[in-house]
Amino acid sequence: MESELTSVNKLEDFKALIKREGIPQHIAIIMDGNGRWAKQRGLTRTEGHRRAIKAIRTTVDACISLNVKVLSLFAFSTENIDRPAEEVNELFRLFDQALETETARLKAEGVRFITSGDLAVMPDELSRKFRDTVEATSANSRLTLNMCVMYSGRQEIARAARNLAEDVAAGRIRPENISMSHIAEKLYHPELPDADLLIRTSGEMRISNFMLWRLAYAELYFTPRLWPDFAEEDLCEAIVAYQRRDRRFGRIS
Ligand code: IPE
Ligand code: IPE
Ligand code: MG
């Protein structure tokens, strides 16, 4: 009870510190630590992944109420496919279940659900479910939830290079005219703004091949909190820290 009260106070304190005019437009999160969360409790890794869904729900709701426009969540990297088949299958099963149970809710909340990554690598039935949720929420505009599955930053850039090479081969663009904006136009969902704030949970301080292009000038925020425990209070704390940074973009402040 006491810890609950402290937590409520912290949430209110952080919320009071947030300036409404400086809310990051695009927050990207590396949701890490599900396995360690489970291990600490003597539970299976799958149980940690299952609890991660609750943290996603909380974070989506908090982003809506704070008026964040884009939330990118790293849910499965192209490297994660090299985990034991049993864990990968369990993750796929959880994605499937979550899409089943959460789609109506996302739709009702005004969330536009999109994906970044190579869905074709996943079982057909699962990639179809991802596409169904994308389709069901496509008219929404309150918050864009960009779920990064079968995603890696280098793969995204390689894919952009491949697409550009096709344009060159077809005579649509000359190599000497290729600029940064041409690459940006070939990323997944070119309409998304660059990430303003990157949050990584679980205490690891690395990018792990996430969003390499769009993170170029993001503020980086690392928290020891394990993803299943990530709460509204943690998001608000990260935004308070973000608002205290001096974003210079190479210039002099
Ligand atoms: C993040 O949690 C979820 C995925 C990468 C799919 P982990 O499964 O990496 O949890 P830890 O890092 O082993 O604790
Ligand atoms: C990054 O976490 C990928 C996701 C959160 C989906 P990992 O747990 O796979 O990253 P490393 O192996 O610690 O770098
Ligand atoms: Mg991890």
Q: Is the pLDDT confidence value at 2 over 60? A: no
Q: For position 206, what pLDDT does the model report?
A: 98
Burial code (b: 16+ CB inside 10 Å, e: under 16) for 167-191 equals eeeeeeeeeeeeeeeebeebbbeee
The mean pLDDT value for 64-90 works out to: 98
- CB-based pocket (< 6 A), ligand 2: 30-32, 74-77, 80, 204, 206, 208
Q: Ligand 2 atom closest to Cα of 32?
A: 5
- Confidence grade of residue 207 (pLDDT, cut at 50, 70, 90): very high
pLDDT digits (tens, 9 = 90+) for 116-159: 999 999 999 999 999 999 999 999 999 999 999 999 999 999 99
The mean pLDDT value for 73-94 works out to: 98
- Confidence grade of residue 5 (pLDDT, cut at 50, 70, 90): low
Q: In angstroms, what is the span from residue 76 Cα to ligand 2's centroid?
A: 8
Q: In angstroms, what is the span from residue 210 Cα to ligand 2's centroid?
A: 9
The mean pLDDT value for 6-34 works out to: 95
Q: Ligand 1 atom closest to Cα of 76?
A: 6
Average pLDDT along the chain: 97
Q: What is the pTM of this model?
A: 0.97
The mean pLDDT value for 192-211 works out to: 98
Q: In angstroms, what is the span from residue 86 Cα to ligand 1's centroid?
A: 14
Q: Is the pLDDT confidence value at 53 over 60? A: yes
Q: In angstroms, what is the span from residue 200 Cα to ligand 2's centroid?
A: 10
Q: For position 8, what pLDDT does the model report?
A: 79
Cβ of 202 less than 6 Å from ligand 1: yes
**Ligand 2 pocket: which of 77, 81, 91 to mutate (most atoms within 8 A of CB):** 77
Q: For position 1, what pLDDT does the model report?
A: 47
Q: For position 253, what pLDDT does the model report?
A: 80
- Confidence grade of residue 4 (pLDDT, cut at 50, 70, 90): low
> Which residues are tagged catalytic?
32, 80
Q: Ligand 1 atom closest to Cα of 33?
A: 14
**Ligand 2 pocket: which of 30, 39, 147, 207 to mutate (most atoms within 8 A of CB):** 30
- Confidence grade of residue 7 (pLDDT, cut at 50, 70, 90): confident
